[in-house]
Amino acid sequence: MDEGFAMVFPFTSIKDYVIELDDEMELFRASVREFVEKEVEPVAVKVVKEGKIPEELYQKAIEMGFTGIGIPEEYDGQGGGAMYLVILMEEISRVLPSFGVGLLVNGLFTYPVLAFGTEEQKKKYIPPVARGEKFAAHASTEPVAGSDIAGIQTTAKKEGDKYIINGRKIFITGADKADFFVVSARTNPPPEERRKRWWGISLFIVERDWPGVEVGSRFDVMGLDGEHPSEVILDNVEVPEENLIPPENEGFKLLVQTYDHSRVGIAAQAVGIAQGAFEKAFNYSLQRTAFGRQLMAFQAVSFKLADMLTMLQTARLLTYWAATLADKGREEYVFAASMAKTYATEVAEKVSTYAIKIHGGVGVDKETGVEHFLRDSIITTIYEGTNDIQRLTTIRQLLKKSFGIDVLSM
Q: How sure is the predictor about 143, in pLDDT bands with cuts at 50, 70 and 90?
A: very high
The domain 18-107+125-130 having CATH identifier 1.10.540.10: the answer here is yes
Q: Is the pLDDT of residue 113 over 90?
A: yes
Q: How sure is the predictor about 1, in pLDDT bands with cuts at 50, 70 and 90?
A: very low
Phi-psi region of 249 (alpha: psi -120 to 50; beta: other; left: phi over 0): left
Backbone angles phi, psi at 353, to 5 degrees: -65, -45
Determine the pLDDT at residue 305.
98
CATH of span 136-249: 2.40.110.10
Q: Do the Cβ atoms of 113 and 121 come closer than 8 Å?
A: yes
Q: Do the Cβ atoms of 232 and 215 come closer than 8 Å?
A: yes
Q: Is the pLDDT of residue 7 over 90?
A: no
For residue range 162-198, list pLDDT tens digits in order. 999 999 999 999 999 999 999 999 999 988 887 888 8
Helix or strand (DSSP H, E) at 138: strand 136-139
Which CA distances in Å does 37 have to 40, 64, 102, 136, 375?
Answer: 6, 14, 18, 26, 22
Three-class secondary structure of residue 189 per DSSP: coil
For residue range 297-314, list pLDDT tens digits in order. 999 999 999 999 999 999
Non-local (6+) Cβ contacts of 282 within 8 A are 305
Q: Mean pLDDT across the stretch 104-115? A: 96
Cα–Cα distance, 75 to 83 (Å, whole number): 19
Among 266-270, 323-327, 395-399, the range scoring the smallest mean pLDDT is 395-399
Which CA distances in Å does 52 have to 98, 175, 282?
Answer: 10, 14, 28
Domain ranges of the chain: 18-107+125-130, 136-249, 253-403
Catalytic residue among 142, 227, 250, 384: 384
Three-class secondary structure of residue 154 per DSSP: coil
Query: What mean pLDDT value characterizes the chain?
Result: 93
Among 204-218, 255-269, 381-395, the range scoring the smallest mean pLDDT is 381-395
For residue range 55-84, list pLDDT tens digits in order. 999 999 999 999 999 999 999 999 999 999
Q: Is the pLDDT of residue 324 over 50?
A: yes
Q: Catalytic residue at 371?
A: no
Q: How sure is the predictor about 384, in pLDDT bands with cuts at 50, 70 and 90?
A: confident
Which CA distances in Å does 232 have to 140, 147, 188, 325, 356?
Answer: 10, 18, 21, 34, 36
Determine the pLDDT at residue 5.
57
Which CATH code, of 3.20.20.70, 1.10.3720.10, 3.40.50.300, 1.20.140.10, is assigned to 253-403? 1.20.140.10
Q: Is the pLDDT of residue 409 over 50?
A: no
Which CA distances in Å does 33 have to 36, 91, 197, 198, 259?
Answer: 5, 6, 45, 42, 27
Helix or strand (DSSP H, E) at 310: helix 299-327
Q: Is the pLDDT of residue 286 over 80?
A: yes
DSSP string, 103-114: HHTTHHHHHHHH
Q: Mean pLDDT across the stretch 110-136? A: 97
Q: Is the pLDDT of residue 110 over 70?
A: yes
Cα dihedral sign, 386-388-390-396: negative
Cα–Cα distance, 259 to 265 (Å, whole number): 10
Q: How sure is the predictor about 407, in pLDDT bands with cuts at 50, 70 and 90?
A: low
Q: Mean pLDDT across the stretch 31-59? A: 96
Q: Mean pLDDT across the stretch 29-46? A: 97
Backbone angles phi, psi at 232, to 5 degrees: -125, 120
Q: How sure is the predictor about 104, in pLDDT bands with cuts at 50, 70 and 90?
A: very high
Q: Is the pLDDT of residue 6 over 80?
A: no
For residue range 189-232, list pLDDT tens digits in order. 988 887 888 899 999 999 999 999 999 999 998 999 999 999 99
